Amino acid sequence: MVNEAFDTNWVAPVGPHITAFEQEVADYIDVKGAVALSSGTAAIHLALLLLNVGREDRVFCSTFTFVASANPIMYQGAEPVFIDSEPESWNMSPQALERALKEAAAENKLPKAVIVVHLYGQVAKMQEILRICKLYDVPVVEDAAESLGATYFGIHSGSMGDFGIFSFNGNKIITTSGGGMLVSNSEKLLERARFLATQAKDPALHYQHSVMGFNYRMSNISAGIGRAQLKSLNGKVDARRSVYKNYVDDLTSIEGISFMPEYHGSFSSRWLTVMLLDQTKLNVTPEQLVTYLNDQMIEARVVWKPLHLQPLFKGTGYYSHSNDNHVAEKLYENGVCLPSGSNLSPKDQQRVIKHIKECLKHSIGREAVI
């Protein structure tokens, strides 16, 4: 498909692969349409523009996520308010969201939108979240950047809110090397997104612009890569779920180790396998384990630092899961992202597991525990 783009000289941000890729993604997740863009961040930005988010507006957003989920709120001059995770899905807490919306309604300061992140390939509890948002008539944007291929009671991530966004960055489950997608069941709003993403050129023979636009469209070559990758998506999901299972089978016998759960109704793509270390039982921190693995030339990372703890968002509003339970902070204190690629061989995974055990053995000082 990439060769076809070169052969036909469609290398610009227009071309048949873009239209085809958009339709194939829309068909895969069962929505009416999609717009291929330069990044997932661009997709979130356009979603907020289409929802008329502007200066001094508020947008509620998951706190346990990468900064790209919230930066577009700032692009629009709006105020982010962060919502904690909950224990079963690790995603936005319906309990905290309901409390935040109730208080916002009492203050007559309801948000213009809620951005729900489907973290590490796991879908949030969308039935509860959509019910609460519908009660207050607040639109929902699904940041499904990490969860293409995941489902919730058989429904694909990204297809349940007013807008869904996907990322095809190099580290995602399928990639166009860089890129994203905005999806929706509103074809009218998607057409507006295309207009804004191509510098908002008015339909005139000359170059005329009445509103500010953006250079956000995906190239035909990138779309060709995406189409080829999409064909193997289900196989990549199966491979990552197998990687997750191997970690669980080998490591959960160690007291103090647990993994991101898959709660009732959810089917995770397992984009990343995330392990928790109970530091009351294991004398090792996530930072120590990550450093140890990196010294063995094994790439591992700590989990996302909650956005309400980031210097960039100092002073912003935040609602915890409950008064005495800050779920995202606990996950941050104990979580480690392990190598999880679809092409991770069993031999390489066993090497990772071996070094995890060695690190824990040295830290605990009791070989029998391992």
pLDDT-derived band of residue 4, with 50, 70 and 90 as boundaries? low
Amino acid at site 213: G
pLDDT tens digit string along 198-244? 998 988 888 889 989 999 999 999 999 999 999 999 999 999 999 99
Amino acid at site 332: Y
Convert 37-75 to b/e letters by CB count within 10 Å (16 or more is b).
bbbbbbbbbbbbbbbebeeebbbbbbbbbbebbbebbee
Q: Say yes or no to pLDDT of 6 above 60.
A: no
- Parse the chain into domains and list their residue ranges: 2-230, 233-369
Q: What DSSP string runs through 122-152?
A: ----HHHHHHHHHHTT--EEEE-TT-TT-EE
Instruction: Give the CATH fold of the 233-369 domain.
Output: Aspartate Aminotransferase, domain 1 (3.90.1150)
Looking at 172, 201, 305, 361, which residue is catalytic?
Answer: 172
Active site residue 172: yes
pLDDT tens digit string along 273-330? 999 999 999 989 999 999 999 999 999 999 999 999 999 999 999 999 999 999 999 9
The lowest-confidence range among 1-5, 150-154, 210-214, 358-362 is 1-5
pLDDT tens digit string along 18-48? 999 999 999 999 999 999 999 999 999 999 9
CA 299, CA 292: separation in Å to the nearest integer?
10
Residue 75 tokens, joined: 């692009």
Q: Residue 299: its pLDDT value, please? A: 96
Instruction: Give the CATH fold of the 2-230 domain.
Output: Aspartate Aminotransferase; domain 2 (3.40.640)
Q: Say yes or no to pLDDT of 7 above 80.
A: no
Quote the pTM value.
0.93
User: What average pLDDT score do residues 153-159 get?
Assistant: 98
